[in-house]
């Protein structure tokens, strides 16, 4: 079973200092972790939201609209 920590680490590895579409980050993360289901996409999306709330990612747009919102690594 894939842990939240593994998902978080992969999300952060696939994120960048510049804004990227959330759909792209979800797709890349899913592919790397070898999972391809709507349920897993939703899990990744919820982890992206968690990372945003906890100061790891910066987001713009409505996070539930993956193609219309973006995230980037939080500048430190």
Mean pLDDT across the stretch 63-67? Answer: 82
Our count of domains for the chain comes to 1
pLDDT of amino acid 49:
93
For residue 28, the domain's CATH number is: 1.10.10
pLDDT tens, residue by residue, 1-58: 999 999 999 999 999 999 999 999 999 999 999 999 999 999 999 999 999 999 999 9
Looking at per-residue pLDDT, the higher value among 55 and 75 belongs to 55
Domain carrying residue 68: 4-73
Write the burial class of residue 37 (CB in 10 Å: 0-12 exposed, 13-18 middle, 19+ buried). exposed
Per DSSP, the three-state class of 34 is coil
pLDDT of amino acid 12:
98
């Amino acid at each position: 079973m894939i842990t939240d920590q593994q998902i978080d680490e992969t999300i952060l590895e696939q994120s960048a200092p510049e804004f990227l579409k959330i759909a792209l980050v979800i797709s890349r993360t899913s592919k790397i972790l070898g999972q391809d289901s709507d349920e897993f996409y939703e899990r990744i999306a919820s982890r992206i939201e968690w990372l945003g709330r906890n100061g790891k990612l910066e987001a713009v747009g409505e996070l539930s609209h993956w193609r219309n919102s973006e995230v980037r690594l939080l500048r430190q």
